[in-house]
Amino acid sequence: MSVNRWISLQGAVNARDVGGLVGSGGPVPGGRLLRSDNPQDLTETDVMLLVDQIGITDVIDLRSTFEVAAEGPGPLSEHAGVTVHHLSFLPESDAVTRKPTAGELLPWQEGELAERGDHASYLGYLSDRPDSVLAALRVIGTARGAVLVHCAAGKDRTGVLTALALTIAGVPRADIVADYMLTDERIQLVLDRLAGSPTYAHSVVGRPLDSMRPKPDAVTHVLDALDADCGGLVRWLGARGFGADNIEAVRRKLR
């Protein structure tokens, strides 16, 4: 975990490469799977770095339809060599215009829900949107180039999907949690970005910084629950049609 995996961008503050983590097939190469906060504000220089130098061909946008409509798809969607896959991790109404609650967008750990706020939200991604979970993992396994995963903060929805992909790749759980916790180094910058957006300001303005910090047990709770209730992630995926060939595709991508 000593490798510097941060990606310096002008228009995003929580972007990093999972390359350098070690899975069952050896170290994950750089330029395979990246994670980030909302790339809506990327500059032309940022796009050139991500597409021309790193080689991003696919973007997995985990935001709700409401968020995409409010914030816009971002400049990567305008690049001819990039395919954006909108795969919301939140439940949506039939009209797909429902405004998500603050707790859905940015899970908080306060008050009576302090011990299970993120836990319930994170497990909800799997129970509410297994279609998006499977589709996102398929994109990771089949993309011809690098894949960028993002949501709003790059912490919650992005953190869960990244943890699932790294679990498939055989990365030890402690290292998966350490990757998730790296967001803590940028949390003030993340909050500042969110506070400047009308879409997210109501979720962050006036909130204490500590309520937004990543908690290590939030990710372990999801993986432990899959182990206890389903016999592990691979069996959970298999029961939903994500077969051995799909699993192997993700593993090949990350080794």
The secondary structure of residue 145, as a DSSP letter, is S
Q: Backbone dihedral region of 13: left (phi > 0), alpha (psi from -120 to 50 degrees) or beta?
A: alpha
* 230 assigned to active site: no
Question: Whole-angstrom Cα distance, residue 194 to residue 188?
Answer: 10
Q: β-pairing, 16-17 with 33-36?
A: antiparallel
Q: Which of 60, 84, 147, 151 is catalytic?
A: 151
The answer to whether 76 and 60 are in contact (CB under 8 A) is no
CA proximity to 252, closest of 84, 32, 30: 32
Dihedral pair phi/psi, residue 231, rounded to 5°: 80, 20
Q: What are the residue numbers of the active site?
A: 151
